[in-house]
Amino acid sequence: MRFNKIKVLETMFSTGIIPVFYHSDIDVTKKVVRACYEGGISVFEFTNRGEFAQEVFGELSKFVAKECERMILGIGSVVDAPTAAAYMQLGANFIVGPLFNPDIAKAANRRLIPYVPGCGSVSEIGFAQEAGCDLCKIFPGDVLGAAFVKAIKAPMPWSMLMVTGGVKPEEANLKMWFDAGVNCVGMGSNLFPKEVIAAGEWEKITLLCKNVLVIASEAKQSGK
């Protein structure tokens, strides 16, 4: 299902939490997405990290459109424009990458789809914003830290930022990031413990999502 750019960004900011996940098994992936959806998650980033990831995403996109119609599905770990174009054809509502590639920005802008590039410096963020990227990803977050986000917001307060890496489903951690000034966070392995996935305990993921959304909401309020 296709959502417009404004809706995608508004939902990212209002929920604050974007799960980041990859699995080569489409059935496992579907169950994880449904568990997140039932836990109140409305934005989900599937990552382009394994063999035949596009095939898995294509099936997932059809599943989400039918079974989780309010879920906004996007693709992560994209580093070049041809890959971005392929995923947009498969229904990706946003593109996330570990780096900034101007060619991806052009392809995404042409279709009015948000491109969230990974940036590790003030200059990269500035170049990405010039290329039309409304939201930039601070990556890797655990290396750059919350102090880097604060430093960015001081001279460039208009910046809309997401952080991935070093984000945990804990009150102190989320409060640190939102207090620093991020608009949303991407959360991967800490939201999907390997043992939970292996055991198929999907209800635990649903509960974890519910809890982290409450924590994020409180953290965002305290950060204002």
What is the residue-wise DSSP string for the chain? ----HHHHHHHHHHH-EEEEE--S-HHHHHHHHHHHHHTT--EEEEE--STTHHHHHHHHHHHHHHH-TT-EEEEES--SHHHHHHHHHTT-S-EE-SS--HHHHHHHHHTT--EE-EE-SHHHHHHHHHTT-SEEEE-SHHHHHHHHHHHHHTT-TT-EEEEESS--SSHHHHHHHHHHT-SEEEE-TTTS-HHHHHHT-HHHHHHHHHHHHHHHHHHHHHH-
pLDDT tier for residue 143 given thresholds of 50, 70 and 90: very high
**What number is the average pLDDT over the span 8-19?**
97
Q: Looking at residues 142-158, what average pLDDT do you find?
A: 96
> Mean pLDDT in the chain?
96
Q: Examine the pLDDT at 157 and tell me if it is beyond 90.
A: yes
The predicted pLDDT at position 221 comes to: 83
- 6 CB-near residues (< 8 Å, 6+ apart): none
How does residue 195 score in pLDDT terms, banded at 50, 70 and 90?
Answer: very high
Record the tokens describing residue 164, joined without a space.
């991935």
In 3D space, the residue among 102, 98, 140, 138 whose CA is nearest the CA of residue 122 turns out to be 138
CA 77 to chain centre: 10
Q: Which residue reads 């102090």 in tokens?
A: 147
What confidence tier does 1 reach under pLDDT thresholds 50, 70, 90? confident
- Which class is domain 5-219? alpha beta
pLDDT of residue 154: 94
The pLDDT score that the predictor gives to residue 223 is 61
What is the rounded distance in angstroms from the CA atom of residue 185 to the CA atom of residue 161? 9
Q: What is the pLDDT of residues 109-121, one digit of tens each?
A: 999 999 999 999 9
pLDDT in tens, 174-193: 999 999 999 999 999 999 99
Mean pLDDT check: name the lowest of 100-104, 133-137, 165-169, 204-208: 165-169
- Cα dist from 134 to 84, 99, 126, whole Å: 17, 15, 11
The reported pLDDT for the residue numbered 220 is 87
Answer yes or no: is pLDDT of 224 > 70.
Answer: no
Domain regions of the chain by residue span:
5-219
Is the predicted pLDDT of residue 15 greater than 70, yes or no? yes
Mean pLDDT for the stretch of residues 3-9: 97
How much of the chain, in percent, has pLDDT values that exceed 70? 99
- CA nearest to 74, candidates 50, 42, 100: 42
Over residues 35-59, the mean pLDDT reads 97
2: CB partners within 8 A, 6+ apart: 91, 93
Instruction: For residues 197-205, give the mean pLDDT.
Output: 97
